[in-house]
Structure 1
Amino acid sequence: MKIQSTLKIMLFSQYFIWGCWLVTFASYAMGTLKFIGSEVGFIFSSLGLAAVVMPPVVGIIADKWISANRIYIFCHLISAASLYGMSTIADSSAMFWMMLLNAVAYMPTIALSNTISYFSLEKNGQGVLDFPSIRIWGTIGFIIAMWLISFLGFEVSRNQLYIASGASVFLALFSLTLPRVVSSAKSTKTTWLQKTGLDAFVLFRQKNIAVFLLFATLLGSILQITNTFGNPFLHHLAALPGAENSVIARYPSVLLSISQISEVVFILAIPFLMSRLGLKRVILLSMIAWVARFGLFAYGDFTSAIGVSMLLLSMIVYGCAFDFFNVSGSMYMARVAGEEMRASAQGLFMTMVNGFGLYIGSIISGHVIDYFTVNGVQDWSSFWLVFSCYALILAAVFWLVYRGESQESGQVSSASQ
């Protein structure tokens, strides 16, 4: 099998696993297990905790002591076991710890899959420019998984976890066929701070970068809210009188998958917009798109053509909201950091967004939905409007406070200097 085909299968499976449950687990937890919003938010906060700690630790081990392949296989076996364990639990506290175990195992595999891909491509005379056409299969895998779970009627069933667990076992076994990534045991002059990525915190000395990272954390707190609570919300709309005649209401995950499809489209526009508008305006567009994403959710429904159109438009605008921030922010961090700190800067950005931001957002959003719940019935419109207003205020403050890209691009030295 050609190396590109092998990597496509790996990345398809990598994100297929996540797509099986990430978007629909909250519907299972709230609809079947009867967890309340704050319990669901607390459970999902484990993803943020794992994102802060595990990727750099596993990255160091893979670079110096154990091959990335072996760690990758081990992590997916642990992930498979924890996903199965999640299917057997009906207590929210126990579910948090099992989800945390899964996150500790799964989150590092995202970076490891990239490492294996880059190494394999270079070993076969190809380069990083060949990676995007392979990485797109990860998005395809995520979408196919969402469709599968939806069409099988598993959105509120533990069966989604069984399928994800089985896919994890398959990927662990398939990974035995991947080219072995050779770890380097040679001593280097890198410091402990550089190895852990903590040297990137020197970037906070520059006010403009510190302000950007602060806003990155604040915006990161809302990035996963629709992934967590979007599916339960659509199930709520599907149960309302008048929605029974809507075909699309029967398959909420299929509708949500339009969000992932839109990502593929909007990401292509980022280089053009960054060169024409600059970072500040592109990030502002992302924040405004989040205002629209939440606002359209607040007024969308399955009972009218206008309501369905609002839901569809919300899915489409998600690509702009998510990609314009994540990708442009990553590009900005690559420019302002020196070459010796570029990887650490990327790690810092992801830690602020997917670590601290996700943790804060999960906890707060869970309590907000509980606040708008009376006698077990959620007021979803008010819930979404709260975060739409939050994004609007954040956009206004960002425009007033953030001065734009600094001119010291590439001049930031490492912490050791």
Structure 2
Amino acid sequence: MHPVTRVKLSFMMFLEFFIWGAWFVTLGTYLLSELSTSATQVGVAFLTQSIGAIAAPFIIGLIADRFFPAQRILGVLHLLGAALLWYASITTDFDTFYPTILVYMVLYMPTLALVNSVSFRQMQDPSKEFPPIRVLGTLGWIVAGLTIGWLNWEQDGNLGLTFRMAAIASAVLGLFSFDLPHTPPVKAAGKATVGDMLGLEAIGLLKNRSYLTFFLASVAICIPLAFYYNFTNPFLNELGMDSAAGKQAMGQMSELLFMLLMPLFFVRLGVKKMLAIGMFAWVVRYVFFAFGDIDTNYWMLIGGIVLHGICYDFFFVTGQIYTDNLAGPRFKSAAQGMITLATYGVGMLIGSLLSGVIVDAFQTSGGGHNWQSVWLIPAGIAAVVLILFLLLFRDRNAGQEATEPQPLNTASGQIKVTSLP
């Protein structure tokens, strides 16, 4: 790859995730403290991510795959997104804010697949060339969190500025996208079925009992995942943690570390143990949050954040590799699309609805929350999913090939995997 192309793709990936991390991490705190919403409304706001994830395959399948170059669609979507984020920053009530952020997420979620498409089409060996570029995305998320903490926007009640910061970055990426390498459609214009766009042609994988177990576990584990993304920042701020968004960036730092160590763990542990350790980490994380505090048990709060690397890499990245290995050459992309729709679409949707209701149910008379009771619920859900997974998952049909990592499918120049850092 030409060095200039590498720099362009890295800058694109940095901005892509900087934009998301700039407002998403502190969204719950912003809504509760500055728009005076209920926790249920916070859950509904985070639900827009799931709606966007469900809509993304239609936008990619109907437009980007068939009619227009990916980099131009990326540019248009981010320019529209910049306007919506700026407008969101000046809204004063939830009834105006919600439809704005809903439309924004419907436009933003497809860009996660588009930046991957643009990247892979420029690579000769994606398994080696993509990770150093993708890691800039995680770095962008980290820088966004550290910036919010450094500027003290959480404590000063200025979280509306996070949307403006994201809007400026979105406008920059929107304009910059038109200078990215040309990435034409990979399919001829024509009729696209709903099944093609949602990856349903890979549904035959569910006939494998162990894969069905993994698939259902993936949906179920995303329910407690929603608790983390939706309410960790409000929880930490309510406890009085300084620069909570900056502290949360340590979760992405641990993700980088465990991503580098994953090949070693794969060889020694295999798929089942990797997935089980990932789910067990969810249980430990929520127990830490339940019993952590700002004084003597402060280490539990930090430990719960740092466990993000194991929670995400050991379960979700391992799951993507496991899916890729079982799918075979014909259905690799379809299988990734199906598991993404199930997790970030269905699983996170259920979790977002449930988490808000539960947090509201444990609100105290003084306006705070009984967080210990709140966090023990996702801990219990994750524990049940782990136990059922250990009892039912056998992986008889995957064989030895599923014990070593393989590069995700890039035959078409795309990877339809939507992932949170």
Question: Where do 1:373-388 residues align within 5 Å?
Answer: 373-375=363-365, 376-388=367-379
Aligned residues: 396
Provide the rounded CA distance (Å) in 2 between the counterparts of 1:193 and 1:228. Answer: 31
Provide the rounded CA distance (Å) in 2 between the counterparts of 1:189 and 1:206. Answer: 30
2:228 to 188, 209, 226: 226
Tell me by how many angstroms 1:276 deviates. 2.5
| CA shift digits 1:378-409 (9 cap, x unpaired) | 11111111111221122112111222352489
Tell me by how many angstroms 1:314 deviates. 1.3
Instruction: Decide whether the 8 Å contact of 1:69 with 1:181 is kept in 2.
Output: yes
Tell me by how many angstroms 1:302 deviates. 1.8
Instruction: Decide whether the 8 Å contact of 1:335 with 1:409 is kept in 2.
Output: no
Instruction: Decide whether the 8 Å contact of 1:280 with 1:405 is kept in 2.
Output: no
Provide the rounded CA distance (Å) in 2 between the counterparts of 1:185 and 1:316. Answer: 42
Provide the rounded CA distance (Å) in 2 between the counterparts of 1:192 and 1:27. Answer: 37
Tell me by how many angstroms 1:260 deviates. 0.6
1:345 to 330, 335, 341: 335
Query: Residue 413 of structure 1 aligns with which residue?
Result: none
Identity among equivalent positions (%) equals 32
Tell me by how many angstroms 1:33 deviates. 1.0
Query: Residue 314 of structure 1 aligns with which residue?
Result: 304
Structure 2 segments unaligned to the other structure (5+ residues): 402-421
Instruction: Decide whether the 8 Å contact of 1:55 with 1:111 is kept in 2.
Output: no
Instruction: Decide whether the 8 Å contact of 1:55 with 1:107 is kept in 2.
Output: no
Provide the rounded CA distance (Å) in 1 between the counterparts of 2:380 and 2:186. Answer: 49
Structure 1 segments unaligned to the other structure (5+ residues): 239-248, 411-417
Tell me by how many angstroms 1:250 deviates. 1.9
Query: Residue 412 of structure 2 aligns with which residue?
Result: none
Provide the rounded CA distance (Å) in 2 between the counterparts of 1:250 and 1:196. Answer: 42
Instruction: Decide whether the 8 Å contact of 1:3 with 1:121 is kept in 2.
Output: no
Tell me by how many angstroms 1:2 deviates. 1.0
The one-letter code matched in structure 1 to 2:338 is L
Provide the rounded CA distance (Å) in 2 between the counterparts of 1:269 and 1:185. Answer: 37
Query: Residue 178 of structure 1 aligns with which residue?
Result: 180
Q: 1:372 to 1:117 in 2, by over 3 A?
A: same
Matched, 1:355 2:357: no
Q: 1:184 to 1:323 in 2, by over 3 A?
A: closer
Q: 1:192 to 1:49 in 2, by over 3 A?
A: closer
The one-letter code matched in structure 2 to 1:360 is I
Instruction: Decide whether the 8 Å contact of 2:239 with 2:294 is kept in 1.
Output: yes
The one-letter code matched in structure 2 to 1:261 is M
The one-letter code matched in structure 2 to 1:233 is F
Secondary structure in 1 matching 2:121:
helix
Secondary structure in 2 matching 1:373:
coil
Instruction: Decide whether the 8 Å contact of 2:226 with 2:355 is kept in 1.
Output: no
The one-letter code matched in structure 1 to 2:311 is A
Secondary structure in 1 matching 2:122:
helix
The one-letter code matched in structure 1 to 2:81 is S
Query: Residue 88 of structure 2 aligns with which residue?
Result: 86
Query: Residue 334 of structure 1 aligns with which residue?
Result: 324
Tell me by how many angstroms 1:338 deviates. 2.0
Query: Residue 267 of structure 2 aligns with which residue?
Result: 275
Provide the rounded CA distance (Å) in 1 between the counterparts of 2:150 and 2:40. Answer: 29
The one-letter code matched in structure 2 to 1:286 is G
Provide the rounded CA distance (Å) in 2 between the counterparts of 1:225 and 1:11. Answer: 26
CA RMSD of aligned residues (A): 2.2
Runs of 4+ in 1 over 4 A off after TM superposition: 187-192
Q: 1:405 to 1:348 in 2, by over 3 A?
A: farther
